[in-house]
Structure 1
Amino acid sequence: MSQQPEYQDWQQILDLIKHSSETGQHEVLLTMLLTPDEREALVARVNICRELLKGDLSQRQISQLLGVGVATITRGSNELKSKSTQEKQVISDLLDAQER
C-alpha cells in the first residue's frame, strides 16, 4: 500500500494558512514552518514587491535600500510582470493596508 503525504499542493497550504489565521494560530504555524532565514527572505520579498509596485526607485536603488542582490530584485520584478493589472492592484492594496 502506497502512502501519500497529506499536503500535496499549494492550495492545501493556502487553506492551512487561512484556517490558522481564522483561529489565531498563524504566528505559531508560520514560525514553525519557516526558518529564521526564510522569514527574513519573506520580509525582503514583501519589501521588494512594495518598492517595485511604488515604482519610485530603480532596481539598483531597491537593492541598495534593502541590502539584497540585484538578481533578487529582478526575480521579484519578473514575478510581478507575470501578474495581471488587477492582481498587481490587489497586491498593492494589501501592502498599502498595512501602512495605515
Structure 2
Amino acid sequence: MSIDPYHSLLTHLANCSDSTAIGVLFSALLTDKEQQEIANRIRIFDLLAHGMTQREISEQLGVGIATVSRGAKVMQSHDVSALLATHRQNAQ
C-alpha cells in the first residue's frame, strides 16, 4: 500500500501543537529561499487585499511582477481570508 507523502505532511502539520514545531519542520523541508518565498506569497496576498497595485507590490517586496501576478491569480481561486486574519493578528 502506498502512502501519499503530501497527505502525511498535512496530517503532521494539523497535529503540530505550536508554531515552533512547524518552524522546525519547515527548516528541515524547505531551503531558506523557499521559506522566504512562502512568506512573500502571504505578504502579496495582504498587500493585494489592501488595494496595492501589482507593480507597487513588486517594487516594495523586490520580487518580479510575475510572482505578484501568480499570487493575485491564487487569491481569485482560493479563500485566503483565514490566513490573512492570522497574518494581520501576528503583525500587531
- State the TM bucket, normalised to the shorter chain: 0.7 to 0.9
In 1: Cα distance, 2:59 partner to 2:68 partner: 10
Q: Which has the higher contact order (CA 8 A, sep 6+)?
A: 2
The root-mean-square deviation of aligned C-alpha atoms, in Å, is 1.9
Alpha-carbon deviation of 1:32? Answer: 0.1
Q: TM-score, normalised by structure 1?
A: 0.77
Aligned to 1:95: 87
Greater helix fraction, Structure 1 or Structure 2: 2
Alpha-carbon deviation of 1:16? Answer: 0.9
Of 54, 57, 65, the residue aligned with 1:70 is 65
SS in 2 for 1:98: helix
Of 17, 34, 56, the residue aligned with 1:38 is 34
Alpha-carbon deviation of 1:34? Answer: 0.5
Q: TM-score, normalised by structure 2?
A: 0.83
Contact 2:44 2:57 in 1 (8 A): yes
Alpha-carbon deviation of 1:53? Answer: 1.4
Alpha-carbon deviation of 1:29? Answer: 0.9
In 2: Cα distance, 1:35 partner to 1:11 partner: 21
Q: Tell me how many residue pairs correspond in the alignment.
A: 91
Corresponding position: 1:15 with 2:7: no
Share of identical aligned residues, percent? 26
